[in-house]
Structure 1
Amino acid sequence: MKILLVEDDDVLIAVLTKSLTEHHYIVDVVKDGEMGWSYGSAFEYDLIVLDIVLPKLDGISLCQRFRSEGYTTPILLLTSQNASTAKVSGLDAGADDYVVKPFDVPELIARIRALLRRSNASSFPLLVWGDLLLNPSTCEVSYNNQPLTLTNKEYELLELLLRDSQHLLSADEILDRLWSSDEFPSEATVRSHIRRLRHKLVAAGAPSDFIATVHGRGYYLKAPDVVIPKQDAVMPQQIATSPSNLPKLNSYKNQQEQYLEFLNELWITTKPKSLEQLQILFQAIEKLASGSLDPQFQLLAYQTAHKLAGTLGTMGLAIAMQLARQLENLLKSQQLLKKAQLEILEALVVDLEKSIQNTDLLQSSPMGAISSISSASSSIFELDQTQVAPKVMIVDDDVDCLRSLPKLLKPWGFKVTTLDDPQEFWTVLQAVLPDVLVLDINMPQLNGFELCQALRSNLDWQRLPVLFLSVMTDANTQNLAFGVGADDYLCKPVVGIDLANRINNRLQRVRAYQYK
């Protein structure tokens, strides 16, 4: 899917482009509102993400312009303004959602998925075509339960064919949907990707014409001989790795370290740029002291503080971001600053400069829970390698949790299915047929207690082991969980080995009951 990002913060552009590309989105980037209008009106996008404070044309005005011209593309606003009036202005202008900086990138990705899902009401959490399964949430693909290793472009091509399975896609349409506007591939590039994708599908057991060609017109997915109904299909979301006596639990930590390394490399170029931007704020101090500060320069200073707040927040520099945010609030007044405010302005700018200059290396995120695993080897269990890997389904609206838990459980050979939309619960439950269910409590539309009660009153599912995983640690909530039928209760944050052992204990009890 193709996204237009309208943002003038280079750091945020780098972080978002990297994250969105990793999730197989095609991203076009422009840095001012006028270019945002030029691209958004000239090319077809599935989503537009735009900042509110932009050069030439602000985000609110750009959003209004799109809506007044009849464009219905979903729009997600980004801003550091957390006031309810700013949110109301954005939504009234026609935006579909609103995210305040600094934000967690996983949360933003989840908002994007939700908007794309909403704009395509027929979308299904798991895309299935005969024996082919593509999971958009984890970007995993399998054919006849065999995992397929695809390049980014091969994955995007397959997803496009699945989502438009009733449509003959021409080479021009594929080029327009899967390549950004600054790339100029030829139709031969499309043929090459189709050929490689076919080869990988055939190697996994698909027929050679699984992706069919109508010469001179385009490509489509050939209907399978027998279409398995979605509610009866067995659709594991994650292909399990072979279990090991010593689980390789460093993968999640390595990913965190790689992301931290990426931010540190980015900071090498961002730090001098941020210090250079501060010179505008020092000039504002000089102008205010001499009585020559005019509205245009105060606006420039406000925009500089706004950009610094976004940059520093993205880099995870909380103290520096708060200082920049205070400067932004001080400078955004409709009235010119008075000399009485000079001391406050100068103190904030000096403190911000010190904070940026003293930051040479970003510190890693707390990994104590993960590092403690190495000392817990005595409690590691080993799955019977002759058995089918147990299927675990996790339902939680915390997308960050949904991304980390499968990685923490992967070394024990579980097949993990994650779901962030409880309204799709019964559909995915029937499709996956899990051996164990992990539920959060507080979720939109349907909470975990309601889902657990419904399971216990359903003859087909009343014996399914249910574990609650929640941030709520009070005894009353835990008692309520057991009262509605929970088998176990764990509190977040959870160590992978603890969750794996609890799951294994429930499975052993189920097996013991079955063999009585």
Structure 2
Amino acid sequence: MKLLFAEDEPEMSEAVVDILTFHKYVVDAVFDGEEALAYAREEHYDGIILDIMMPKKSGLEVLTELRKEGLRTPVLLLTAKAEVEDRIQGLDLGADDYLPKPFVMGELLARIRAMLRRREEFTPDILKCGNIELNLHSYELSGNGQAFVLPKLEYQLMELLMLNQGIYLSSEDLLVKVWGYNTDAELGTVWVYISYLRKRLSALNANVEIKAKRNIGYTLEVNE
């Protein structure tokens, strides 16, 4: 299991990373909110641990941006604040759990295990549509004995389409959910990436296609 751990106190970060590594987790440690956001966008993690109080961007700001971009990776918040309002805010923003500081390592490990169990229970490792499959861990799109490892944006777009089979999503929806609210990308970028995925599906001899309706959007459907 691969985790992202964002904590700006070096001694705390080192101690936690040592414990997590001992328990067979692979950990990327970062020390501010901007780093956390960049790593979460570029890498695929099974879980993310965010300290709320960090320089450059707070854990809550990072969480808000990731959820707006459609990232569903489980998030555990660490906070030195004990007020109920802070906990409620974090959960309302999309956190899966919180742990007040200071904490004992045993409880942290238990919270991580619980968070990852819930992810495994509710998120399948493989999405299927027709005769193709998308592996959520390896980013691999496969079918008919062939496979491609998709670049991140193609993967996110394909995942979104597979999770909404038969539902038309507008170009605006796709742009926001894949590229984010603050993107400089234009709507035409969506069409470009749709064309990339159509070529992938054709190469796999897939019995599904990305259909378009003018002024409505795109959907993934199995050909009858």
* Higher helix proportion: 1
In 2: Cα distance, 1:66 partner to 1:76 partner: 13
**Is 2:7 the counterpart of 1:42?**
no
In 2: Cα distance, 1:33 partner to 1:42 partner: 14
Match of 1:370?
Answer: none
Q: Secondary structure at the match of 2:121?
A: coil
Q: Secondary structure at the match of 1:81?
A: coil
Match of 2:65?
Answer: 65
In 2: Cα distance, 1:116 partner to 1:77 partner: 14
In 2: Cα distance, 1:74 partner to 1:107 partner: 17
Match of 1:19?
Answer: 19
**Is 2:108 the counterpart of 1:108?**
yes
Q: Secondary structure at the match of 1:120?
A: helix
Shift of 1:93: 1.6
In 1: Cα distance, 2:39 partner to 2:14 partner: 19
Q: Secondary structure at the match of 1:49?
A: strand
* Higher strand proportion: 2
What amino acid sits opposite 2:121 in the alignment?
Answer: A
Q: Secondary structure at the match of 1:115?
A: helix
Deviations 1:57-79 (A, max 9, x none): 01111111111111101110001
Matches within 5 A, 1:501-516: none
Shift of 1:24: 0.8
Q: Secondary structure at the match of 1:16?
A: helix
Q: 1:122 to 1:85 in 2, by over 3 A?
A: closer
State the Cα RMSD in Å. Answer: 3.1
In 2: Cα distance, 1:98 partner to 1:83 partner: 12
In 1: Cα distance, 2:24 partner to 2:70 partner: 28
Deviations 1:303-352 (A, max 9, x none): xxxxxxxxxxxxxxxxxxxxxxxxxxxxxxxxxxxxxxxxxxxxxxxxxx
**Is 2:9 the counterpart of 1:5?**
no
Match of 1:395?
Answer: none
Shift of 1:122: 7.1
Match of 1:51?
Answer: 51
Matches within 5 A, 1:220-369: none
Gaps of 5+ in 2: 127-132, 140-144, 149-224
Deviations 1:37-72 (A, max 9, x none): 110011110111010111100111111111111110
Deviations 1:334-375 (A, max 9, x none): xxxxxxxxxxxxxxxxxxxxxxxxxxxxxxxxxxxxxxxxxx
Deviations 1:232-277 (A, max 9, x none): xxxxxxxxxxxxxxxxxxxxxxxxxxxxxxxxxxxxxxxxxxxxxx
Match of 2:76?
Answer: 76
Between the aligned residues of both structures, percent identity stands at: 41
Shift of 1:17: 0.5
Q: Secondary structure at the match of 2:5?
A: strand
Match of 2:208?
Answer: none
Shift of 1:173: 4.4
Match of 1:31?
Answer: 31
Match of 1:387?
Answer: none
What amino acid sits opposite 2:50 in the alignment?
Answer: L
What amino acid sits opposite 2:6 in the alignment?
Answer: V
Q: 1:93 to 1:122 in 2, by over 3 A?
A: closer
What is the count of residue pairs matched by the alignment?
A: 138
What amino acid sits opposite 1:82 in the alignment?
Answer: A
TM-score by length of 2: 0.55
Deviations 1:429-452 (A, max 9, x none): xxxxxxxxxxxxxxxxxxxxxxxx
Shift of 1:109: 0.6
In 1: Cα distance, 2:138 partner to 2:92 partner: 33
In 2: Cα distance, 1:87 partner to 1:122 partner: 23
Gaps of 5+ in 1: 124-162, 175-213, 218-516
Shift of 1:90: 1.1
What amino acid sits opposite 2:12 in the alignment?
Answer: L
In 1: Cα distance, 2:115 partner to 2:138 partner: 23
Matches within 5 A, 1:53-202: 53-121=53-121, 173=138
Match of 2:180?
Answer: none
Q: 1:122 to 1:74 in 2, by over 3 A?
A: closer
In 2: Cα distance, 1:89 partner to 1:11 partner: 27
Shift of 1:23: 1.2
In 1: Cα distance, 2:103 partner to 2:122 partner: 29
Q: Secondary structure at the match of 1:121?
A: helix
In 2: Cα distance, 1:78 partner to 1:11 partner: 15
Displacement over 3 Å in runs of 4+: none
TM-score by length of 1: 0.25
What amino acid sits opposite 1:20 in the alignment?
Answer: L
